[in-house]
Chains A and B, each alone.
Chain A
C-alpha cells in the first residue's frame, strides 16, 4: 500500500512521493504515514481506501489540508472494512476535511490517538439502501470542524463507549437514524459553539448526546432525539453552556422499544425563554409516536416548554407518548393528537402560562387513548383556554390558580383525582370512562371544599364488570346525568359506586339505563360506611331502566322509579312494572 515518503516534493498528488507502490492512493488503496514520513500537502482532492497516520511509531510531521481527503472504497464486491487512524504527534494545517464513505457491508473504525481533528469530519454512505453500518470508536475524538453523520437513509450504528466532541456544527445528514449499540453506547458531546441541525425530523439520534460547552449551542428547528436507534442507557443530557432552541424539537417514540433518559435542566420559571445559560428550554416541543405500546422517556429534573407542547403521531390509533418522572413546565398551550400515557413514575405537567389546550376528538376514549396521565397542575397568572374536551387518564389534576376558559368544553376522565376545580365554577362537561384496563373500576376522586358543579355528566366506555367509583371529600351536582349502558357490548355489570359521607345531586335530567332487559345486575351503590345522598331534584326528568340501588339515600328529592332494577336498603327508590304504554312521571315535593 502506498506509504508517504515525499521524495520529490510535498504534494500528495505526485506519484513519486509515494512508495510501495510509487502511486498516488486511490479508492482501492490505502494512504499510509509513518514516523519516517515528511511533511505533506494535500494539493489535490485526496482519495484512499483507508487513512493511517499511525504506522510505525506514528506520523510526527505536518499534513497541510489544502483539499479534503475522501476515505473509503466506492463499490465493494466483498465486505470491506474502513479505518481512519490519526497520530498523536502529527500536526494538521489547512482547512480541508476528512470525508468517509462508509459502506454498509463493513465496519468503519475511527482511532484518534488523542489527536484533535481541526476541520470538517463527515461519515456518509455510497449505497442508498438504508441498511446499517457499524462505526466503531476505538477512543475519544475531538472534531473542531463541522461533524456530519449520515446521508440518504443510511443508518450508522455507533459501537464503543467513547465520545466524539463536536466543537463546531453538528449535522445529522441521514433521514433515518444514528443508532447505538447495547452495552457500548457512544456519546456525542456538543462542546463548542455551533448549530445542531438535521436533514429530517423523522431521523432520530440514539447515541448519547451531551451538551457541555463554554460556548453556545443552537438547536435548529426539526432536530430530534430518541426512537429506534436508542439502547439501554441512551440519554440526552445537559451539563453546561448556553442553548438556543429554535422552532420545534421532537422526541421520538417507537413501538415497544427500550426507554431512554433526558436530563436537560429546563427552567421552571414562567418567564423562561428559549435561550438559556443553565439548561435546555424548548421553544416548541413535540412528541412523535407511531406506537400503541410506546417507548418510555425517563425524565430527570425539569423540561421547559416556552411555546407549545404537542403530540403529532403518524397513526391516530397508535398515538401514545409515555413519560416517566420529572416535571414538564408548560408556558404555552398544548395540542395533543395523541395522549400522554402512564409511565413507571408519574410525570408532573404544570400549565403555568397562557395558551390553548386542545386534544384530538378522534382519539377513542373507550380504549383509554386520550388525555394526560400523571400529575397535571394548573397554576398560572395567565389564561388556559380549552379548544376541545381535554382528558385526564390515570391522573391527579389540581387547580391552584389561573383563568381557565372552558368555552363550552370540559373534561373526560378515566381514573382521576380532580382537586380545587370548584373554584372555576360550573364544568360544562365531565365524561367518565371505564374500560377493561380500569381494573376493579375507574375512580373519579373529587377533593374540594364544595360539591363539583357540572352541567353534563356522562358515563361511557362500558365493559364487562367495570365500574365507576366516585370518592373523595366531596360529591357533585350535575344538571344532566347520562348513564346508558351500550347496546351490543358483552355482558356488562357496570355499577356506579358513590362514597358514603358525600352528596350527589341531579337537578334536571337523570337517565340511568341498563344495556337491555337481560342485564339486571347493575346498580348505584354505596362505598364505605355511612350515608350517601343521591338526590334527584323535584321536577327533574328521570328514566331508569333495569338499574337498581343499594344503600342509597334519595329521601331529599323526588322518588326514583326503576323499571325492574334491584333495590335494596335504599330510601325513596321504587320499582314499577313496565306498562304496555310507557310513560314517565315524577312526584313533586
Chain B
C-alpha cells in the first residue's frame, strides 16, 4: 500500500507553557483522507523539535489509517 502525505499547520498558539499546533494531514495515494488533529508540545525549544513531534503523530495516524483499510478489506471478505 503506497500512501503519501503532506501536512499543513492550521493554527499554532501558546497555551500557558505549551505549544498547540492544529494540523491537517492530507493522505494521498492508495488512500485519500484528511485527518485533523492537534499536537501539544511541552516547552519546545526548537522548530526541529516541534516538527519531529508532528512527524511522529503523522506516522501514528498513518498506522491507524492503514489498519482501518485492512479492517475494511476484511469486512468485504467476510
Which A positions have Cβ atoms within 8 angstroms of B? 348, 375, 377, 379, 381, 396, 398-403, 417, 419-420, 422-423, 447-449, 473
Contact = CB atoms under 8 A, between A and B. Distances in A.
B38 interface: yes
Interface in B22-39: 22, 37-39
5 contacts: A396-B42, A398-B18, A420-B18, A420-B38, A449-B20
A153 to B, nearest CB: 45
Contact of B40 (A348, A398, A402, A403): A398
B56 interface: yes
B20 A447 contact: yes
Given A381-B56, A401-B53, A419-B40, A396 B15 contact: no
Given A381-B59, A419-B18, A449-B22, 17 more contacts: A377-B42, A396-B17, A398-B40, A398-B41, A398-B42, A400-B41, A400-B56, A402-B60, A420-B18, A420-B38, A420-B39, A423-B39, A447-B15, A447-B18, A447-B20, A449-B37, A473-B15
A449 B20 CA distance: 9
A401 B40 CA distance: 9
Nearest to B37: A423
B15 A400 contact: no
Given A401-B56, A401-B60, A423-B37, A447 B16 contact: yes
Task: Kindly list the 10 A-B residue pairs having the minimum CB-CB distance in the complex, ordered from nearest.
Answer: A420-B40, A449-B38, A398-B42, A401-B56, A447-B15, A419-B40, A377-B42, A398-B40, A419-B18, A400-B53
Contacts, number: 58
Contacts of A447: 15-16, 18, 20, 40
B23 to A, nearest CB: 10
Contacts of B37: 423, 449
A449 to B, nearest CB: 4
Interface string B48-78: 0000010011011000000000000000000
B15 A419 contact: yes
A402 B17 CA distance: 21
A304 B38 CA distance: 28
A274 to B, nearest CB: 25
Given A396-B17, A473-B15, A348 B38 contact: no
A397 to B, nearest CB: 9
Nearest to B42: A398
Pick the most buried of B16, B22, B37, B42: most chain A CB atoms within 10 A of its CB.
Answer: B42
Nearest to A397: B42
Pick the most buried of A381, A400, A447: most chain B CB atoms within 10 A of its CB.
Answer: A400
Contact of A401 (B15, B16, B57): B57
Contacts of A473: 15
Given A398-B18, A419-B15, A473-B15, A448 B56 contact: no
Contacts of A400: 39-42, 53, 56-57
Nearest to A445: B16
Contacts of A379: 42, 53, 56
A398 B43 CA distance: 10
B16 to A, nearest CB: 7
A401 B15 CA distance: 18
A379 B42 CA distance: 10
A473 B16 CA distance: 11
